[in-house]
A and B are shown apart, each in its own frame.
Chain A
Amino acid sequence: MIGASSHRKEGRAKVMGTAIYTDDKFVPDALHGVTVRSQVPRGILKGIHFGGGIPWAEFTIVTAADIPGKNLVASVMHDQPFLVGIGEEITHMEQPVVLLAHSNRHLAERARLAVALEVEELPAILDIQASLDLEQVIYGTHNLLKEIRIQKGDPSKVWDRAAHVIEGEYFTGAQEQMYLETNAMVAVVEEKDAQTWVTVWGSLQCPYYVHGALKQLFGLPEDRVRVVAMEMGGAFGGKEDYPSVNGGHAALLAWKSGKPVKLIYDREEDLACTTKRHPSRSRLKTAFDAEGHLLALETDFVIDGGAYATMSPVVLSRGAIHAAGLYRCPHVKVHARAVATNTPPPGAFRGFGAPQSLFAMERHMDICARKLGLDPVELRRKNFLRLGDTMATGQVIREDLDLGGLMDRALAEIGYHDKRAAFAITNQGEGPIKRGVGFSVFMHGCGFTGSGESYLASVAGVEGLADGTVSILAASTEMGQGKNTVFSQIVAEALKLPYELVDVAEVDTDRVPNSGPTVASRSTMMVGRILEDAAIGFKQSLVQQGFLQEPYTPESFQVAVAKAVATLGSVKCYGQYHRPPNIVWNDSTYQGDAYPTFSWACYAAEVAVDLDTYEVKVEDFVTVQEVGRVVNPRLAAGQVEGGVAQGIGWGLWEEVTTKQGRMINNQMTNYIIPTSADLPRIQVVFLENAHPAGPGGAKGIGELPMDGPAPALLNALEGALGPLRLDEVPMTPERLLQRCEEVSHG
């Protein structure tokens, strides 16, 4: 079962058009919610005025003053209000202030525009440098949402004695997840037996995050809040933390109106107000000996965290831990900061900080190779981590890593050496097309960072059904990645059953336990492992209670389950995460095993640049990765291909343009994601190396493909055009033209 390309469980419903996404849910008598937002980046809210021409008496209106519980969104830190109240501070352009609902959604939209906010404006901080310079203090005492220091050895003792010291500065822009389905919620609040019962159905990655946020918002105990994950039209991290906000908004309107409420964002609102990838700046300083061995590395990594902490502390953490890449280095110092600005808070997006810091590191390695007069292949080969080496956090490599072999495989697949030699000649021709090949080598930590998995202590289970089939109980959500299918394969393998006899239960907090958020490339490896344990426990229980005898056939198993259900009413077995004994992490010193393991990869790109238009065409893209045992090769390849497409978009085209911190190209017309005509076939190679921590040896895969494309593409651009200031993504045609002009103008 593990290793088979089983068909997606919900595939048939998706191609028939019968899969029910949130806005597809038929809700009789629903009101339509809209959100009135700030139109200034910073100020004090003085008043709310309801303009003429709108039948306001027909509207449900919610302001901060109505909130029954705590007006703070439960997240890593509880610092973001659901709605800003009169006399309170507005901190970004898209801040929610008033919620409206009406049965006519066209009228609701007109009413939204008729609300005027009276605001005493304050000076705003709109970028990283202004925040670091403390032009205004907008958060705490130093505008810092989080600061992390990781140190191994002491780089300051190395600079003077090193043969070469090379410095560089790198920037990455915001990126929009651009899931095809916008954020959407349906809420019902009922008063029964003098108690309030809140139910939310939505497009959300983390049912128990929303559950926790609703409990705090309404001041209700656990059992009075229910969250159901509908079919989800993509997420990529964009529905990790924001659903706690809009889920709360929908529920507030439902509570005040006593009617069901649909709160569906249109694309412009979704792009302007919901989370993005954090913009970043990295300053790297590296020392090498005369042969090119890395002696010391210091990095100053800063991300723009926006107006509230949201996920920034943990995004920063992953970025900081990945900042030194996969190289052995005796002296490392990482200084990482998430700074506050008056912009809508960024949040989770596939890769979660790692793409930013790895872009800087992998771009820097190519620049160092050039300055050292070495081939980028050989510079990396000299410095790769090996069995027994320690990373910056002190984590010891316990796998027999062969990163050189992995790199060589990717280079062979794309024909790196031959192409480099050939392009060196053809690029000297007169024509406008210049070609290059480049690559990056990188890793992605599997599961939550540090003690995260221990704190989560996730639970998942399996349940026998009356028809003798097995149902999986987990709060992990399906967003297209294939959770329904992969979980079913893992449980079917553990129970030695055909795939068809296992399926997943609806993700409803009244029914499934908290298996943790569906993030961090953790579902297959972490939750899958818990399910493997739960399935084995389930089988043992059936045997011990005399329902099942081993060895069994699928038919006899099905009979045993049906009989157990008929006899006992309900048969379930749960499993829980247990920290492996050899994994140790210290949250205060940032020392120890940051992750139980890493997935490893080398990505190689071939580009063609047109020097008439500065357009970049990706001609070939090869991915070679070691992700443990692959549970479902076809689904896994789909993850890699889709992740690479997003990585290519981030590297070359996807630019978030802002005015006063607000995205102004908030339409699909002018925020450009790759179409089928823009991409090559992405080649996917898996080097399988079973890892004991995951089910059947699997590791994480979802985020890895986001980390490699941007540096590989810019390294390829340098191959095509020679040394340029290729220090930033997206490297749009406009930016590339400017970089080329810098060289021609000296």
Chain B
Amino acid sequence: MADRINLVMKLNGEERSVNVHPFARLLDVLREDLRLTGTKEGCGEGECGACTIFLNGQVVNSCLVPAVQAQGAEVITVEGLARGGELSPIQAAFVAHNGAQCGFCTPGMLVAATDLLNRCPNPTEDEIRDGLAGNLCRCTGYSKILDAVQTAAADGASR
């Protein structure tokens, strides 16, 4: 078995190539090898959702994804949500509504919320609650996160 393998992916719109341990987790490759530390580890077992990213358009817990599965894939992390320093509507809504308190669940929560609004542009409150139930937050009690997602949905609908 090779010591390191070459991994190529399209990360936040850019082609990236990196040599990684063959059994590395995608989360560690992002954080340690590519130094994109926005994606967080909260539990390492797919419960908390802090490491949520897009892998080929699907949301995944990157702590449970072997890096080899990202070979040739398109990966989007929290760092890829803003464009040219301009916050995405959901990021801006999180700032406006205090959706981020300690901020540690926020990167994963933003990715999950982005995915939810992609799939369901005008969600009901229950649909938001279900859509974000895989992302734990210990600070907010979720109300301000719901406010932010509802605002982003309303803004999206008005455009």
Binding site for B on A (CB under 8 A): 5, 7-8, 10-21, 23-24, 26, 177-182, 231-236, 266-267, 479-482, 634-635, 637-638, 641-646, 667-669, 673-677, 679, 681-682
Select which of A21, A635, A645, A675 is within 8 A of B104 by beta carbon: A21
**Which residues of B are found within 8 Å of A21, using beta-carbon distances?**
37, 40, 104
Chain A neighbourhood of B92, CB < 8 A: 15
Contact status B87-A181, CB under 8 Å: no
Is B133's CB within 8 Å of the partner chain A? yes
Closest B residue, CB atoms, query A12 = B95
Counted as pairs of residues, one from A and one from B, with CB atoms less than 8 Å apart, the total is 173
Secondary structure at the A interface, as helix, strand, loop or mixed, is loop
Q: Considering only CB atoms and an 8 Å cut-off, how many residues of chain B contact the other chain?
A: 56
> Which B111-141 residues have C-beta < 8 A from chain A?
125, 128-130, 132-141
6 contacts between A and B (CB under 8 A): A8-B95, A15-B103, A23-B41, A181-B40, A267-B45, A645-B142
Residues of B within 8 A of A181 (CB): 40, 42, 102, 104
* Smallest beta-carbon distance A603→chain B, Å: 13
Question: Closest residue to A177 on the B side, CB-wise?
Answer: B138
B71 within 8 A of A: no
Determine the distance from Cα of A63 to Cα of B35 in the docked complex, in whole angstroms.
Answer: 33
Q: Are A267 and B43 in contact (CB under 8 A)?
A: yes
B67 an interface residue at 8 Å Cβ cutoff? no
CB-CB nearest in chain A for B130: A677
Chain B residues positioned under 8 Å from A232 (CB to CB): 102
Identify the closest chain A residue to B24 (Cβ).
A106
The residues of B that contact A642 with a CB separation of less than 8 Å are 101, 138-141
Q: A15-B91, A676-B146 are in contact. Are A7 and B139 (CB under 8 A)?
A: no
Determine whether the beta carbon of A17 is less than 8 Å from that of B130. no
The answer to whether A10 touches B103, judged by C-beta atoms less than 8 angstroms apart, is: yes
Which label, helix, strand, loop or mixed, suits the secondary structure of the B interface? Answer: loop
B96 touches A233 (CB 8 A): no
- With a cutoff of 8 Å between Cβ atoms, the chain B residues found around residue A675 in the complex are 132-134, 136
B residues near A, CB below 8 A? Answer: 31, 35-45, 47-48, 50, 77-79, 82, 87, 91-92, 94-107, 110, 125, 128-130, 132-146
Closest B residue to A232 using CB positions: B102
Partner of A15, one of B37, B100, B132, B143: B100
CB distance from B118 to the nearest CB of A (A): 18
- Return the contact of A677 from the options B102, B110, B133, B141 (Cβ within 8 A): B133
Q: Please tell me if the beta carbons of B139 and A480 are within 8 angstroms of each other in the complex.
A: yes
Flag if A15 contacts B48 (CB, 8 Å): no
- The reply to whether A20 and B100 contact each other, CB–CB distance below 8 Å, is no
Q: Is A667 a contact of B140 with CB atoms below 8 Å?
A: no
Among A12, A16, A645, A646, the residue within 8 A (CB) of B78 is A16
Which residues of chain B are near A644, meaning CB under 8 Å?
141
Partner of B101, one of A18, A481, A682: A481
- Measured between beta carbons, the chain B residues less than 8 angstroms from A682 are 141, 143
* A8 to B101 CA separation, bound complex (whole angstroms): 8
Residues on B with C-beta less than 8 A from A177 are 138
Q: In the complex, which residue of chain A has the Cβ closest to the Cβ of B41? A: A23
- Which of chain B's residues have a CB closer than 8 A to the CB of A234? 101-102, 104, 138-139
Please provide the 5 A-B residue pairs with the shortest distance between their CB atoms, ordered closest to farther: A17-B38, A233-B104, A480-B102, A14-B103, A641-B141
A676 to B133, CA, bound (A): 5
Which of A5, A180, A641 meets B50, CB within 8 Å?
A: A180
Q: Would you call A231 and B103 a contact (CB within 8 A)?
A: yes
Q: State whether B35 touches A17 (Cβ < 8 A).
A: no
B39 surroundings in chain A (CB, below 8 A): 17
Residue of B nearest to A13 (CB): B103
Among B43, B50, B96, residue most surrounded by chain A Cβ atoms (within 10 Å): B43
- Identity of the chain B residue whose Cβ is nearest the Cβ of A268 in the assembled complex: B44
Q: A11-B98, A15-B103, A231-B103 are in contact. List 20 more A-B contacts (CB 8 A).
A: A7-B96, A14-B100, A15-B87, A17-B78, A18-B38, A24-B37, A177-B138, A182-B42, A233-B42, A480-B103, A638-B141, A638-B144, A641-B141, A646-B138, A675-B132, A675-B133, A676-B129, A676-B133, A676-B145, A677-B130
**Residue of A20, A21, A23, A233 with most chain B CB atoms under a 10 A cut-off:** A233
CB closest residue in chain A, given B78: A17
A266 CA to B94 CA in the complex, in Å? 28
Which residues of A have CB within 8 Å of B103? Answer: 10, 13-15, 19, 231, 233, 480
Q: Is there contact, CB below 8 Å, between B44 and A267? A: yes
A635 B98 Cβ-Cβ under 8 A: yes
* Residues on the A chain within 8 Å of B91, using CB: 15-16
Q: Smallest distance from the beta carbon of A617 to chain B beta carbons, Å?
A: 13
Minimum CB–CB distance from A28 to chain B (whole Å) comes to 11
Q: Least Cβ distance of B52 to chain A in Å?
A: 12
Residues of A within 8 A of B82 (CB): 16
Given that A17-B78, A180-B105, A668-B42 are contacting pairs, would A11 and B94 also be in contact in the complex, using a CB cutoff of 8 Å?
Answer: yes
